[in-house]
Every structure is written in structure tokens, then in C-alpha cells.
A and B are shown apart, each in its own frame.
Chain A
Amino acid sequence: MSDVIFAAENIVKHFGGVRAVEDVSLSIEAGSIQAIIGPNGAGKSTLFNALSGFYPCDSGRVTFKGVDITTAPIHRRIAMGIGRTFQTSSVFPNLSVYDNLLIGLQSAASLAFRFRPINRAQRKTIEEKAERLLDFVNLRSSARRPVAELAHGSQRLCEIAMSLSTDPVLVMLDEPMAGLAHAETERVLEVIRKLHGELGLTVLFVEHNMRVVLSLAQRIMVLDRGKTLAEGTPAEISANEAVRDAYIGKEVVEHV
């Protein structure tokens, strides 16, 4: 068993009277790929946002590499090695794909807060990294186009590349397949596989598409009404009666 890189203990997040997340814990081993699933309104996105610092947690503790980051500001989390994407691709729509990547690379190289132009050597390093990222997500041919002009799938890939620009060890993907056509799903799936396989990153993702979840995840956590319903390997989750009743549905399991 390898080390736990990211852990959350007893996370609680309420919105007024709505108990969106109620006492949820999870831990992720370094280099693993883990999914969070659950029916609509189960609290997946809320949990995800609480874990990534988008919302403050009402109570609970989040640690990354053994450091308590429960109240750490977002930029500190990114500097420590976490990257994330959003359900609706969060990019700089009017900037080119290339410039979208440069903003992140510039930030990671601590060059963003700078009033003088960067020097030739720094520029070269950044350009090489940008081109490597473009190749990784296969967007080289669209590099010059504003992201807003690209198809959904390419925007999602651009966002994934952006989240890689800060050199993370843990990547959090919030419904990476949301709103994508079938062919696009394949492209994104391929890239997520490479994140884990080629780059050796730890991946935590929320997803609705069961085919994607069962083909990618090593461990799955099922949320229902803000609480953990089950946790285990894909085989265990598929066989779990409570999960079947609450969420997956017979035909999906049979289909798989």
C-alpha cells in the first residue's frame, strides 16, 4: 500500500438548512485514480468544491502531503501541487489556447508579478513547456485560436492542459465528460488515462457517465444525500445492493 497523498476527514458543508455534505471522509493514495459518483443532488459537486477550496468547509479537515490545507487559500493549494477543472470549462475564452497555457506557466514560474518583459531563457523554457502541453492534449493545430471558438471537447482539453501548467501531482476533475459528444468523450478519456499512466499523476474525479467511471477508476466512492453510501473497487461497487438501489440502476450494471 502506497502513501496517502490527499485526505479529507469528516467534511461538513451546509447551505442554510440544506445539508449538502454531511460528515464525509475520503483518502487518496499517491498515484491512484479515484472517482466520486452519486445521483443528482448527492453533494458531489459541493464536496468537490469544499475539497478544492472553492467553498470553505463548515467543519472537517483536509490534508495534502500531510499538511493541513483546510483553510489554505486557493493559490497556496495550487503552489503545493493541486490542479482542478470545472463542470463547465473554466478558461480564458477570449485568449488563444497558447496564451491560456502561458498564463498558468508564467504563474508557475513565479513570473506573473513582474513589470519587465521576461528574458530569452525564461521565455524559451516557457514556450517549450507550452508546446509539450499542446502536444499532450493534441491541440497544437488550434493553438492560435481563441478558446471560445473551439468545440466543447477541445475547450475541456485546453482546461485540462491549463490545470497541468502549474505542475500538479493531484488533478481534480469535476465531471470531465459533462456536455460532451461521444467522440469527444473518447478524446478526453484518452487524455485522462495519460494523466495517470504517462505522467503518473493522482486523479480524483466526479463523473456521471458510468462507462467512464468503471473504465477509469481504481476506487469509487458513492455519495447519496450528502453521505458516503459505499466505497470500494469498481467490482465491489457494481455488486453493491445499496448502490444499485440508490443510483446505478439494473440496466447499467448489466450493460457493463
Chain B
Amino acid sequence: MRMSNRAGLIAALALLILLLFMPQIAPHIGLAVSVCTEVLLYAIAAMAVNLLIGYTGVLPFGNAAFFGLGAYGAGLTIQYFHVGFIASIVLGTIAALVGAVLIGPFLLRRRGIYFALLMIAFGQVFYFIAYRFTDITGGEDGMNFARPAVEGLGLVLKDQQFYYAMLLVFALVMIGFLFLVRSPFGRTLLAIKENETRARYLGLNTDRFIFVALLISAIMEGLAGACYGLSIMFAYPLMLDWHNSGNIVLMTILGGSGTIFGPFIGAIIFVIGQEILSTHWIWWQIPLGALFVACVLGFPKGILGTILDAVERRRGGFAYEARDTVHGTVYSEREIQP
């Protein structure tokens, strides 16, 4: 096994152990278990954004629409159809997927900043729907709903149990993501990010790849949103809003887009930073904003990207994109003799 793979595996195992004991550790460092759950769920959302920003090269600035659709999908089906815990998550995720299927064909007609703006616009449409249809969604006040029992167990998951359920979801998404970006499909996405014109001239129907990447991203983010809705037992219009999209993009870029664990680091800093700072200081967003500006100006590869770069430079390797792709590519195991 290659060095970078081994280091990644050790880091992942250490992280898993830390996360397994988080409910026991959290009270000692002044954190509620629910905040730890929130970190995991926002990390999934940020990974969804990372799939598009870091691995496909499109800017999903309206991504919170999928997050909110997930939460409302879960909330509404619980409220009106009395579905169970797992069913509500699945239905919330499907709601986000349907949203992506609807707006995807329009988004694909544009690239770059126009894609981003169009996606914000579509996201706001969902926001206003949730805001206006007061009879069904509760409008501006949002909607409360009870967390239903898990099918077959007849058990309503509480704090720690809920955390472990979400940790399981997080771990599965993480493993799935790793396989996805290392699959031929994932490698092709990276090529599209690097140079879409060239990808087209290699016979790739890039629209189709970007569309499917968008759907996968929406599924991940809808899943995160549905779980988040169940976590706080509440869905409200601001979940769909472009501010929330911006926060999730911020986590992704802060942690390091184009890296596997970067978005998770970004989610930790953002959610916990918000939790701690906002209780002491109403201007808590200012230092966070300053950190973001510093990151974009000084470390455009984000926290993890910058660290990985430095490690690679000391080992005399490539820039980290190249390291990620060259060493990660499924074929490149065999050495080429000059």
C-alpha cells in the first residue's frame, strides 16, 4: 500500500474512534451531543457540495435547496402521512432528488458564474414556496414535527442513540464518497473540472456526467437535510435559503475542496465555532468571515489542502491535485519504466 493511502487510512481510523467516543467526550468540553450530530450532518452536506466544487468544477451556490427539500420532505411526510423514521429520511432524500431532476436540465445550459447564479435563483424559488404555502409548511414560522419511531424497533431514538445512527449514516456516506471519486466516473468528473472542452473532445458527453454528479450531490445533501430535520424536529424556510447555501460552500472551501476530509474539517470549525462564539458574542460571524477571507486569499486550497500540499512538497511530490489523481487512479498501481 502506498504511503499516502496508509496515512489516510490511519487518519480515518483515528477519526472514527474519536467520533465513536464523542458523546462521552463532548460534555467535558462544553458541547451538547446534538451539536456533534449537527457537525456530522453539515459535513455530509459539505461533502455533497465538494463533489461539485472540488471534483466536477461547477459552483452549487443554491445547494441548500436540496438540504431544505430533505428536511421538508421528511417533516411533511411525518406530519401528513405518519411515516416512520427511516421512511421519512428516504422520502426526504427523494424530495431533494426530484428537485435536482427538475432544475438540473436548466442548470446544465450554463457554466461558471451563470450556473451559480441560476442555481441561487432556483433555490430561492423553493424558499418562497416554503415561505408562502403557510397552510401546509407553516410559512415563515416553519413546522414542528415529532421524531417518529424506527420501523420494526418501535423505538424513538434519543440524543446519543440518534447521534450513533447519524454516525452510521456519515460513515456510509464517507465510504461511498471515497469509492465514487476513485471510480472511473469520479476520475472523469475530475477531468471535466480540469478542462471540459478537452473532455468533450475525448468523446465524453460532459452534460450527462455533470447532471449525474448533480443528482448524486442532491441525494447526499437531501439525506443530510432530512436527518437534520429529524435532529431538530423542525423545518423552516431559511434552511432552503441562499445564506445556508453560502454557509455550506464556506465550510467546503474553508476545509479544503477537492479533498476527502476537508469538508468535514470545515463543518467542525463552522458549526462548533458558531456554537461557541454565538453564545458569547452577537458578532460571531465576523471572525468566521475573516477566517474565510484569509483562506480564500492566502490558502485557496483550504486548511486540509494546504497541509497536504506542504507534506507533499517535503516529500518532493506533486501538487496535491496531481497527487490525488495520479496516485489515486485505479490503473496507476503499476510503475512505468522509463
What are the residues of chain A within 8 A of B325 when measuring CB–CB? 94-96, 99
Most buried by B among A90, A99, A118, A165: A99
Task: Compute the total of residue contacts between A and B using a CB distance below 8 Å.
Answer: 129
For residue B332, CB closer than 8 A to chain A, the reply is yes
Residues of B within 8 A of A50 (CB): none
Q: CB within 8 Å of A: which of B171-228? A: 179-180, 182-185, 187-188, 190-191, 194-195, 197-206, 208-209, 212
Residues A123 and B203 in contact in the complex (CB < 8 Å), given A95-B322, A99-B325, A146-B318 = no
Q: Pick from A52, A96, A116, A140 the residue with the most CB of B within 10 Å.
A: A96
Q: How far is the CA of A197 from the CA of B304 in the complex (A)?
A: 50
Tell me how many residues of B have a C-beta within 8 Å of chain A.
38
What chain A residues lie within 8 Å of B318 (beta carbons)?
A: 96, 145-146
Q: Tell whether, in the assembled complex, residue A90 and residue B205 are in contact, meaning their CB atoms are under 8 Å apart.
A: no
Query: Hey, which chain A residues are within 8 Å of B188, CB to CB?
Result: 103, 106-107, 112-113
B58 to chain A minimum Cβ distance, whole angstroms, is 17
Whether the pair B200, A75 counts as a contact (CB closer than 8 A) is yes
Per the bound structure, the CA–CA distance linking A119 and B78 in Å amounts to 44
Check A107–B204 contact: CB distance below 8 A.
yes
Chain B interface SS verdict (over half):
helix
The residue on B at minimum CB distance from A104 is B202
Given contact pairs A114-B185, A117-B330, A166-B203, A95 touches B208 in the complex (Cβ within 8 A): no
Is the Cβ of B184 less than 8 Å from the Cβ of A111? Answer: yes
A interface residue count range (under 10 / 10 to 19 / 20 to 34 / 35 or more)? 35 or more
The smallest C-beta distance from B248 to any residue of chain A, in angstroms, reads 24
Complex contact B194–A93 (CB within 8 A): yes
User: Cβ of B194 and Cβ of A92 under 8 Å apart?
Assistant: yes
- CB-based nearest A residue for B205: A75
Residue of B nearest to A167 (CB): B203
Contacts of B330 in A (CB 8 A): 117-118, 123
A92 to B183, CA, bound (A): 18
| Residues of B294-331 contacting chain A, CB below 8 A | 318-319, 321-322, 325-326, 329-331
Asked if A163 and B201 sit within 8 Å, CB to CB, the answer is: yes
**B residues apposed to A, CB below 8 Å:** 179-180, 182-185, 187-188, 190-191, 194-195, 197-206, 208-209, 212, 318-319, 321-322, 325-326, 329-332, 334, 336, 338
18 contacts between A and B (CB under 8 A): A74-B200, A90-B197, A92-B194, A94-B322, A95-B194, A99-B187, A99-B326, A103-B187, A103-B191, A107-B203, A112-B188, A112-B209, A113-B208, A115-B185, A117-B184, A127-B331, A130-B331, A146-B319
Which residues of A line the B interface, CB within 8 A? 52, 54, 73-75, 78-79, 83-84, 86, 90-96, 98-99, 102-104, 106-108, 111-118, 123, 126-127, 130-131, 134, 140-141, 143-146, 162-163, 165-166
